[in-house]
């Protein structure tokens, strides 16, 4: 409040005030003259020819080059542990950017280019067959306890006349009698010639990480990447109220994947040629000081061609630890196109800031992805086991006999051209209730058409259609949209409140409800009938193979397209959820933020979120699962014809729901504290600590034990990291000619000016350990069997070391045909914590006020920390323990240095 001035004061102040008005008037006149001269006024004269600015005077930009080379790096721990002396890394990243006005001040252009040339070593530690095994000699092969591995000759199989069906199958009550291979050697005459050709392409062991001969193949293979891309932007001011901007980007590249083995049997990823194009046109119209309209057109296309020409090989998979051969999807052609038009309208009415956004998007996904054009063959121990007895048989032995327990091939006649349209409307009101309280209300509505195919080559199993083969529900129906048009609303509310009237303290809260849109999947899922998957299934994996390699895959019985209702029978059939049920999310958060003296900001947040009907993949849902009460049938379950009749839809093996079946649930609670320190001395620091707990009924590396009791699957989320600490900082060092220390003004300023450091550190506690039993003898009913908990034994160890991270004696392999009673993920056991620390040091050389050269050295994991790998989670029975359970065999990580140079002008 201004003080009142007495009369005498006014008399004295009057001339003073007049003088002041005069000076300010003079300043105003000078302001007008200066702004006119500097061209800052509408009535400024055009610049004279003598003052013309050339493009190089008004354009800015930079040239940059970043180098990484293994000469600068530490040897990665995983390589050093295998006796290696160096990694392979050659990487050059180079680019430029120029930007500036092109026509007066109203049009501004920017062009950026970046290229990458990289060759990097990829290492992998795997298990392959030892040399004797490749010729059928398993005399040196041991089980996980180190005892000789028994393999049996399937040709000697005969019924046990003394078998008592009233008692469980056991070594004392065998259903079938089988003789072991003499000397545990398969005679060479019995070896399958196709399998032996595969063996000739399979690598020999070259390492001995163990235990026993496991983890015996270590490979460091180069991966290359070549990419070039540009971004061009144009921004044009049409007049005071409207502006048009254009953004175009393009990138092309070619990536050569690393090889796990140097033959056509390599199971590694495909090489890939790819390109991406983006274009955006945006028009901003300021209708009034309080009303803005933004019209945006977005176009995007991504194309990828992944294959290795000339490398065509079947996909061989071995149960157990052995590295497979071949790969799925050896040919992958995909293209994604997105066309989007949106209009946003913002206005202010009274104390309400209103915003409406309408958007229409058309998606196109083109895919040609035959999974197994040369066939997929899986090999298990059953065919070389003593039927019904655990720890007998060997998957690689079954392979050498050419006896696959399951096989399928992909006969894909044509690509798929998927389409979907989405229209959405979002309305938001930010309401200033009082000076201390702001409220935000938001509502949205999305309308999505179902996924359709350009040529109507679409199909799905419909569970309400009778299958002509067996008269049971469930038949493949082709054509039309598999799902209805869906409307999904959403709403949220939020507030910001200054409880004490102090603007430095803010309480924020929010709550929201939303649905997740059903994506357009990049696959050919839902095209059976137009494409085929001839499948062979073993009648009993212990007694008969699904197929012998030497006989090859059976051909499709009928030509494509085959749109009969029973086409997908006896296969893993594609099932599209018929109601387009959408995942539903709820979230709420509350935070308190306080700015303290010294530019210190502290914020605490509590957050809760949950999701229902989340999309899960095939490991999380199986609508054709046999109810687990049928485990009582015990060994009869090994008979496929018996098992089939127990399935809800016996005509199908199971359903492929392609990560799109809405049945998962999750809940997450988190609390976090964030501390920020800002300092004009050049220090910026942010530290965050978060504690969280996330539970769900679907996540994890193995899947769900009981598909009919999701409540029993409720456990810690497999990737839940309960404690997370992060620290980031940047500091302009207080040295140099314009700083408080070493303020040299002579030649030494070139050495001390322009130093800064940046860093990031992250510390993460471990994820919950997901244990699994070594043997799963449940007749194929349980896909993800859990372990049993041994009562009274502490799973924790007093001192966790790599030699013993947890106590495996606290768990047990469930008995045959019983479920495990342990949790899907353990509530207290955690994998090792990890940490990473990155540091960047920059030295800036100012050439003049506009140009500067920056040298930058960045150390990723600069302290060269080794992070332990996860302990072995496989629990064997007491009779055949996994001696490696709970042990950690190595660590990963290593310092990487990048040196960069940037010239800015």
Partner 1 sequence: MTRRHLLALFAPPPPPEGSGPLRLRVPALVSKGEPANIEATVDGKPAKVELLKGPQDDLLILLVLDFSGDISYIEAARTGLEAAVKELPANAWATVLRAQDGLRVLQDPTGQAEELISTINTYTGGGKAGLLDTVEDAAKLADRLLVKTATRVALLYCTDGSIYNYREDYTNPVINSSDSRDLSRRFPDQLVREKTQKMISSLLQREAPIWIVHIHYRVDAINEAYQRGLQQMAEATGGEAAICRGMADIPSAISNAMLRIREHWSVFLELPPGKSRNIVVGLNAPECDMTYRQRFSVKR
In eight-state DSSP terms, residue 732 is E
**CA atoms of 315 and 377, how far apart (whole Å):** 6
Contact 665, 694 (CB under 8 A): no
Q: Does 113 bind partner 1 (CB under 8 A)?
A: yes
Question: Is the CB of 13 or the CB of 155 nearer to partner 1?
Answer: 13
Q: Does 346 bind partner 1 (CB under 8 A)?
A: yes
Give the residues across from 812 on adjacent strands: 788
Q: Does 5 bind partner 1 (CB under 8 A)?
A: yes
For 538, the 3-state DSSP assignment is coil
Backbone dihedral region for residue 680 (phi beyond 0: left; psi -120 to 50: alpha; all else: beta): alpha
What's the min distance (Å) between Cβ of 341 and partner 1? 20
Residue from 361, 483, 363 nearest 422 by CA: 361
Contacts of 745 (CB under 8 A, 6+ apart): 737
Contact 475, 466 (CB under 8 A): yes
Interacting residues with partner 1 between 13 and 72 (CB under 8 A)? 13, 15-17, 19-21, 23-24, 26-28, 30-32, 34-35, 38, 40-42, 60, 62, 64, 66, 68
Interacting residues with partner 1 between 645 and 704 (CB under 8 A)? 678, 680, 682, 684, 686
**CA atoms of 85 and 123, how far apart (whole Å):** 13
What's the min distance (Å) between Cβ of 745 and partner 1? 5
First to last CA, the chain: 50
**CA atoms of 661 and 704, how far apart (whole Å):** 14
Question: Is the CB of 213 or the CB of 862 nearer to partner 1?
Answer: 862
Q: Does 108 bind partner 1 (CB under 8 A)?
A: yes
Q: Does 139 bind partner 1 (CB under 8 A)?
A: no
Interacting residues with partner 1 between 764 and 823 (CB under 8 A)? none
Q: Does 220 bind partner 1 (CB under 8 A)?
A: no
What's the per-residue H, E or C state across 11-55? HHHHHHHHHHHHHHHHHHHHHHHHHHHCCCCCCCCCCCHHHCCCH
Among the listed residues 328, 560, 760, 863, the single contact to partner 1 using CB under 8 A: 760
Radius of gyration, CA atoms only, the chain: 34
Beta-carbon count within 10 A of 682 CB: 12
Among the listed residues 758, 762, 765, 865, the single contact to partner 1 using CB under 8 A: 758
Number of residues engaging partner 1 in binding (CB under 8 A): 124
Give the residues across from 355 on adjacent strands: 346, 428
Q: Does 846 bind partner 1 (CB under 8 A)?
A: yes
Q: Does 500 bind partner 1 (CB under 8 A)?
A: no
What's the min distance (Å) between Cβ of 660 and partner 1? 25
What's the min distance (Å) between Cβ of 760 and partner 1? 7
Residue 901 tokens read as 């140079």
Q: Does 737 bind partner 1 (CB under 8 A)?
A: yes
CA 486 → CA 64, 450, 583, distances in Å? 49, 8, 12
Question: Is the CB of 24 or the CB of 485 nearer to partner 1?
Answer: 24
Name the one range near partner 1 by CB under 8 A: 287-295, 467-475, 551-559, 707-715.
287-295
Among the listed residues 142, 231, 588, 833, the single contact to partner 1 using CB under 8 A: 231
Among the listed residues 190, 303, 667, 844, the single contact to partner 1 using CB under 8 A: 844
Q: What's the burial of 74, exposed, middle or buried (CB within 10 Å: 0-12/13-18/19+)?
A: buried
What's the min distance (Å) between Cβ of 525 and partner 1? 24
What's the min distance (Å) between Cβ of 353 and partner 1? 3
CA 868 → CA 530, 538, 762, 795, distances in Å? 48, 41, 15, 19
**CA atoms of 484 and 467, how far apart (whole Å):** 23
Contacts of 222 (CB under 8 A, 6+ apart): 88, 119, 120, 121, 122, 256, 258
Interacting residues with partner 1 between 434 and 453 (CB under 8 A)? 435-436, 438
What are the φ and ψ backbone dihedral angles of 216, each rounded to 5 degrees? -110, 10
Q: Does 276 bind partner 1 (CB under 8 A)?
A: yes
What's the min distance (Å) between Cβ of 5 and partner 1? 8
- Please identify which residue in the block is written with the tokens 């038949």: 475
Among the listed residues 237, 470, 807, 835, the single contact to partner 1 using CB under 8 A: 237
Q: Does 506 bind partner 1 (CB under 8 A)?
A: yes
Contact 769, 825 (CB under 8 A): yes
**CA atoms of 804 and 797, how far apart (whole Å):** 8
Binding string, residues 703-732; x marks residues near partner 1 by CB under 8 A: -------------------------x-x-x
Question: Is the CB of 13 or the CB of 485 nearer to partner 1?
Answer: 13
Q: Does 864 bind partner 1 (CB under 8 A)?
A: no
Q: Does 255 bind partner 1 (CB under 8 A)?
A: yes
Question: Is the CB of 591 or the CB of 869 nearer to partner 1?
Answer: 591
Name the one range near partner 1 by CB under 8 A: 186-194, 347-355, 472-480, 533-541.
347-355
Contact 773, 821 (CB under 8 A): no
Q: Does 510 bind partner 1 (CB under 8 A)?
A: no
Binding string, residues 867-886; x marks residues near partner 1 by CB under 8 A: --------------------
What's the min distance (Å) between Cβ of 420 and partner 1? 22
What's the min distance (Å) between Cβ of 621 and partner 1? 31
Q: Does 110 bind partner 1 (CB under 8 A)?
A: yes
């Amino acid at each position: 409040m201004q003080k009142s001035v007495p009369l005498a004061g006014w008399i004295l102040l009057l001339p003073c005030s007049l003088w002041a008005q005069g000076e300010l008037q003079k300043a105003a006149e000078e302001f007008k003259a200066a702004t006119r001269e500097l061209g800052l006024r509408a009535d400024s004269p055009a610049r004279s020819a003598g003052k013309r600015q050339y493009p190089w005077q008004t354009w800015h930009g930079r040239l940059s080059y970043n180098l990484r080379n293994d000469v600068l790096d530490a040897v990665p721990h995983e390589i050093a542990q295998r006796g290696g002396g160096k990694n392979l890394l050659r990487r050059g990243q180079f680019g430029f950017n120029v930007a500036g006005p092109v026509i007066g001040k109203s049009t501004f252009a920017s062009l950026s280019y970046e290229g990458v040339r990289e060759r990097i070593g990829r290492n992998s530690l795997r298990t392959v067959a030892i040399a004797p095994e490749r010729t059928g000699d398993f005399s040196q092969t041991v089980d996980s306890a180190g005892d000789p591995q028994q393999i049996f000759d399937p040709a000697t199989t005969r019924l046990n006349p003394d078998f008592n069906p009233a008692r469980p199958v056991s070594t004392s009550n065998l259903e079938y009698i089988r003789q072991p291979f003499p000397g545990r050697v398969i005679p060479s005459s019995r070896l399958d010639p196709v399998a032996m050709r595969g063996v000739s392409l399979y690598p020999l062991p070259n390492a001995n990480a163990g235990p026993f001969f496991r983890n015996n193949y270590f490979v460091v293979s180069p991966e290359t990447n070549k990419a070039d891309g540009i971004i061009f932007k144009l921004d044009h001011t049409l007049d005071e109220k409207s502006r048009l901007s254009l953004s175009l980007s393009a990138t092309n590249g070619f990536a050569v994947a690393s090889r796990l083995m140097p033959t056509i049997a390599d199971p590694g990823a495909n090489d890939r040629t790819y390109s991406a194009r983006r274009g955006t046109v945006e028009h901003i119209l300021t209708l009034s000081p309080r009303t803005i309209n933004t019209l945006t057109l977005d176009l995007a296309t991504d194309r990828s061609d992944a294959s290795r020409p000339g490398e065509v090989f079947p996909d061989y998979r071995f149960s157990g630890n052995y590295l497979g051969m071949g790969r799925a999807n050896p040919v992958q052609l995909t293209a994604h196109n997105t066309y989007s038009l949106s209009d946003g309208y913002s206005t202010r009415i009274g104390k309400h800031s209103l915003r409406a956004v309408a958007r229409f998007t058309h998606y196109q996904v083109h895919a040609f992805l035959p999974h197994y054009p040369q066939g997929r063959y899986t090999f298990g121990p059953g065919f070389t086991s003593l039927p019904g007895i655990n720890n007998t048989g060997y998957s690689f032995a079954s392979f050498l006999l050419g006896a696959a327990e399951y096989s399928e091939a992909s006969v894909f006649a044509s690509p798929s051209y998927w389409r979907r349209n989405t229209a959405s409307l979002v309305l938001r009101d930010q309401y200033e209730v009082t000076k201390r309280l702001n409220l935000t209300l938001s509502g949205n509505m999305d309308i999505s058409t179902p996924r359709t195919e350009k040529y109507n080559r679409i199909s799905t199993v419909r569970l309400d259609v009778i299958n002509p083969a067996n008269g049971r529900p469930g038949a493949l129906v082709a054509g039309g949209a598999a799902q209805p048009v869906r409307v999904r609303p959403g709403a949220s509310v939020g507030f910001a409140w200054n409880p004490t009237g102090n603007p430095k303290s803010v309480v924020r809260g929010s709550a929201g409800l939303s649905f997740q849109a059903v994506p357009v999947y990049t696959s050919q899922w839902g095209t059976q009938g137009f494409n085929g998957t001839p499948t062979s299934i073993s009648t009993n994996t212990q007694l008969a193979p699904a197929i012998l390699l030497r006989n090859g895959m059976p051909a499709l019985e009928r030509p494509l397209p085959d749109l009969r209702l029973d086409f997908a029978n006896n296969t893993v059939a594609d099932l599209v959820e018929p109601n387009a049920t959408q995942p539903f999310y709820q979230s709420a958060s509350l935070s308190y933020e306080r700015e303290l003296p010294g530019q210190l900001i502290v914020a605490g947040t509590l957050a809760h979120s949950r999701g229902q009907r989340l999309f899960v993949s095939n490991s999380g849902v199986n609508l054709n699962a046999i109810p687990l009460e049928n485990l009582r049938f015990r060994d009869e379950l090994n008979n496929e014809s018996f098992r089939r009749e127990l399935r809800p839809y016996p005509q199908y093996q199971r359903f492929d729901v392609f990560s799109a079946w809405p049945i998962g649930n999750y809940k997450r609670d988190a609390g976090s504290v964030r501390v920020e320190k800002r300092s004009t001395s050049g220090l910026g620091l942010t530290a965050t600590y978060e504690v969280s707990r996330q539970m769900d009924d679907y996540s994890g590396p193995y899947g769900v034990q009981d598909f009919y009791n999701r409540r029993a699957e409720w456990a810690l989320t497999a990737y839940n990291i309960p404690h997370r600490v992060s620290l980031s900082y940047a500091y302009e060092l207080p040295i140099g000619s314009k700083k408080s220390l070493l303020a040299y003004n002579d030649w030494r300023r070139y050495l001390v000016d322009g130093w800064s450091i940046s860093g990031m550190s992250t510390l993460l506690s471990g994820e919950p350990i997901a244990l699994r039993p070594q043997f799963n003898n449940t007749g194929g009913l349980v896909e993800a069997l859990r372990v049993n908990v041994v009562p009274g034994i502490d799973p924790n160890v007093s001192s966790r070391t790599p030699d013993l991270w947890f106590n495996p004696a606290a768990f047990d392999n469930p008995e045959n045909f019983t479920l495990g009673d342990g949790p899907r993920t353990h509530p207290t056991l955690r994998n090792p914590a990890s940490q990473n620390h990155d540091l960047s040091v920059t030295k800036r050389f100012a050439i003049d006020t506009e140009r500067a050269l920056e040298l930058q050295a960045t150390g990723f994991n600069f302290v060269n920390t080794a992070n332990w790998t996860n302990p072995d989670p496989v629990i064997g029975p007491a009779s055949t323990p996994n001696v490696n359970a709970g042990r950690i065999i190595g660590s990963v990580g290593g310092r990487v240095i990048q040196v960069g140079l940037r010239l800015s002008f």
